[in-house]
Amino acid sequence: MNSLKFINSMKLRMSYGQTGFDNLGVRWPYLEQWTYGGTSRLGVTGEGAEQSPYTWYSQATVGNPTVQWEQSEKFNLGLDFEIFKGFIKGKADFFQDNRSKILLTGRSDVPSYFGASPPVANLGAVKASGYELELHFNKNVGKFRLWADLNMTHTQNKILERATPELLPDYQKPEGMQIDQSYSYVSKGMYNSWDQLYGSTMHNVNDNQKLLGNYYLVDYNGDGVIDSQDRIPYGHTSWPQNTYNATLGFDWKGFSAFVQLYAVNNATRQVVFTSLSSQSHTVYQEGDYWSPANTSGTPVPRWLTTPFGDYRGTQYMYDGSYVRLKNAEIAYTLTPELSRKLGLSSLRIYLNGNNLVAWSKMPDDRESNFAGTGWASQGAYPTVKRYNLGLNITF
């Protein structure tokens, strides 16, 4: 027991619960719904002919009498601890969320000859798990205090069931993937000669619009044509799997300062620079363009030609990892004696800033996951930097 004297406190936590969810924006999914209106043409006289005197009743929505709430089983295991007389405090949490009977709308597992939109059904299942680690350091040496707050979060999920068409290729099925997994055509270089271009796999549309310097797209399923069956899982989702935060600071004789660093990784972001799109005059800086002397450049912008829609492959797919100097501050608080001489209760002077520096492989600083509309518009606005110089005065 003497070897454990450095442990001041330790607490183990565990919780389990079950919740439900039914907010789909669909009213009465368990009921068939019918509509009234329209008549049949029965006559043979004239161009319009005579109409039936009887009005149609037709099925508008197929109901599902067995539909029920989604279910979610949540489990959490946690540990809180304090060691070395409060020098280090921390916690660790491990969690798992098993969602089942997920309500699916807009289903693709029912063929079109069914004749109607398939009903809402409890056909989905997702497993999510992860952990969160948190550490706090606090050390006093005389009037000098050094402190740090560190935390890290990891989370990932896997689709277990999603009512996928049986004949869909396995690599395009969502089962086994994360929610919102990125998909893309991939390339194996560029067309650097006419022989390569004429010998390349045919695109299913606008094959005659290929040019030297375009990406040589991979015929992933080997059927001799580049089409939607050649889109494959690529990278991660736009939501980072891992997030990190570190805040470091000190206090000494009225002076105080801190810096906060924030980082993420395991994220894929799409940022599209469509130079000359729809004959606009906007051209983005995309580095050196391809030429016979620069075969590693980016594809040349197109003006009027209409190539295969995804001919750029993964060109605009970026590693969304970044490290950011999120916040920094330096401040000085006057001593009580000096504050009283100025007729004040307290006076604090500070200089701080937000979003000061970012390090990333992204083409510019886009932290936000949502902006504009659509997958390609995510993070369309740059993160704003702020600087503040101020006083906190108490009379």
pLDDT digits (tens, 9 = 90+) for 63-79: 999 998 899 999 999 99
3-state secondary structure 314-364: CCCEEECCEEEEEEEEEEEECCHHHHHHCCCCEEEEEEEEEEEEEEECCCC
C-alpha radius of gyration, the chain, whole number: 30
pLDDT at residue 2 greater than cutoff 60: no
What token pair was written down for 16?
């389990």
Each as own residue / partner, the long-range contacts of residues 365-368 (CB below 8 Å, 24 or more positions apart, any chain) are 366/269, 366/271, 367/322, 367/324
Which tens digit of pLDDT belongs to each residue from 172-221? 999 999 998 999 999 999 999 999 999 999 999 999 999 999 999 999 99
Nearest to 268 by CA among 371, 181, 374: 181
Position with higher pLDDT, 394 vs 231: 231
Q: Give me the pLDDT at residue 39, please.
A: 86
Q: Give me the pLDDT at residue 225, please.
A: 96
What token pair was written down for 358?
């970012």
Nearest to 70 by CA among 110, 98, 107, 106: 98
Nearest to 11 by CA among 130, 91, 94, 131: 91
Q: Give me the pLDDT at residue 153, please.
A: 97
Q: What distance in Å separates the CA atoms of residue 294 and residue 296, rounded to the nearest whole number?
A: 6
State the chain's mean pLDDT as an integer.
89
Which tens digit of pLDDT belongs to each residue from 370-391? 555 555 555 566 788 999 999 9
| Mode of pairing for the β-strands spanning 202-203 and 187-190 | unpaired
Q: Give me the pLDDT at residue 245, please.
A: 97
Stretch 154-167: mean pLDDT: 93
3-state secondary structure 204-223: CCCHHHCCCCCEEECCCCCC
Residues forming beta bridges with residue 304, ordered by sequence position: none
pLDDT tier at 305 (50, 70, 90 boundaries)? confident
Which tens digit of pLDDT belongs to each residue from 77-113? 999 999 988 899 999 999 999 999 999 888 888 888 8
Q: What distance in Å separates the CA atoms of residue 285 and residue 273, rounded to the nearest whole number?
A: 9
State the CB neighbour count (10 A cutoff) for residue 141.
8
Q: Apex CA 107: angle with CA 104 and CA 97, to 5°?
A: 30
Q: Give me the pLDDT at residue 50, please.
A: 84
Q: Give me the pLDDT at residue 280, please.
A: 81
pLDDT tier at 301 (50, 70, 90 boundaries)? confident
Nearest to 235 by CA among 154, 167, 152, 316: 316
pLDDT at residue 4 greater than cutoff 90: no
Q: How far is CA 290 from CA 187, 191, 297, 309, 315, in A?
A: 15, 10, 4, 19, 13
Q: What distance in Å separates the CA atoms of residue 392 and residue 395, rounded to the nearest whole number?
A: 10
Percent of the residues in the chain that have a pLDDT greater than 90, as a whole number: 54
pLDDT at residue 121 greater than cutoff 70: yes
pLDDT at residue 369 greater than cutoff 70: no
Which tens digit of pLDDT belongs to each residue from 244-300? 999 999 999 999 999 999 999 999 988 887 788 778 888 888 888 999 999 888 888
Q: Give me the pLDDT at residue 372, please.
A: 52
Residues forming beta bridges with residue 217, ordered by sequence position: 187
Q: Give me the pLDDT at residue 269, please.
A: 86
| Mode of pairing for the β-strands spanning 225-226 and 202-203 | parallel
| Mode of pairing for the β-strands spanning 242-252 and 255-265 | antiparallel
3-state secondary structure 238-298: CCCCEEEEEEEEEEECCEEEEEEEEEEECCEEECCCCCCHHHCCCCCCCCCECECCECCCE
Q: Give me the pLDDT at residue 375, please.
A: 54
Q: Give me the pLDDT at residue 111, please.
A: 87
Contact 247, 258 (CB under 8 A): yes
Q: Give me the pLDDT at residue 3, please.
A: 62
Q: Give me the pLDDT at residue 86, please.
A: 84
Contact 187, 314 (CB under 8 A): yes
Percent of the residues in the chain that have a pLDDT greater than 70, as a whole number: 95
Q: What distance in Å separates the CA atoms of residue 86 and residue 89, rounded to the nearest whole number?
A: 6
What token pair was written down for 28?
């009465």
Position with higher pLDDT, 127 vs 115: 127
Position with higher pLDDT, 46 vs 312: 312
Tokens 């006083």 correspond to what residue?
391
pLDDT tier at 129 (50, 70, 90 boundaries)? very high
What token pair was written down for 266?
């395991």
Q: What distance in Å separates the CA atoms of residue 158 and residue 97, rounded to the nearest whole number?
A: 11
